[in-house]
Amino acid sequence: MLKAPASVNTLMTLDQILPPERTLFDVTGGSKKRVLEFFSTFIAQNTPSLDSQEVFSRLIGRERLGSTGVGNGVAIPHARSPHCRQPMASFLRLAEPVDFDAIDGEPVDLVFVLLVPEAAEDAHLALLAQVAELLNSADTRTALRNAESQHQLYDTMVNAIHHLSAQA
């Protein structure tokens, strides 16, 4: 019997792909491009199969289709990569909001980045839906903005994910 690889698991939850070391507190942004460059370099340094230029190119390519700034100071940049073996996430709280061409025109300070394997279309969409629902909550956004350390930021994110999972 054939078994689906873990990277195609549509039941994957955000806390499974967001370790504490990829939750970053008060990141210097400057611009949308710099935020995406920072993430691309950061994720490639910590994931040998990934190339920072390739990740950046895919994220920028997705932005060209339409901004991933979803409003309320939130952006959800995401892309597929043939070199990504399993879905991975990173959450960045920016030190200062940046223009992300968001749909509401507001600058962004909460950035949840998703990178998934090329073939993981269902998982990609399921994870994007989870992120959108999670960050649609004004209470969650406020709690994330009020976190005073990386540790508190991560705990706040995981608690919000668990709360969301319990409601499902």
pLDDT in tens, the chain (168 residues): 333 334 334 467 899 999 999 999 999 989 999 999 999 999 999 888 899 999 999 999 999 999 999 999 999 999 988 888 889 999 999 999 999 999 999 999 999 999 988 876 777 788 888 999 999 999 999 999 999 999 999 999 999 999 988 886
Task: Note the CATH architecture for domain 18-167.
Answer: 3-Layer(aba) Sandwich (3.40)
Predicted TM-score (pTM) of the model is 0.90
Nearest to 103 by CA among 151, 66, 136, 77: 66
Report how far residue 70's alpha carbon sits from residue 132's, in angstroms, rounded to the nearest whole number: 8
Residues serving a catalytic function are 78
Residue keyed to tokens 């990173």:
90
By the 8 A CB rule, do 63 and 34 touch?
Answer: no
By the 8 A CB rule, do 133 and 99 touch?
Answer: no
Report how far residue 154's alpha carbon sits from residue 122's, in angstroms, rounded to the nearest whole number: 26
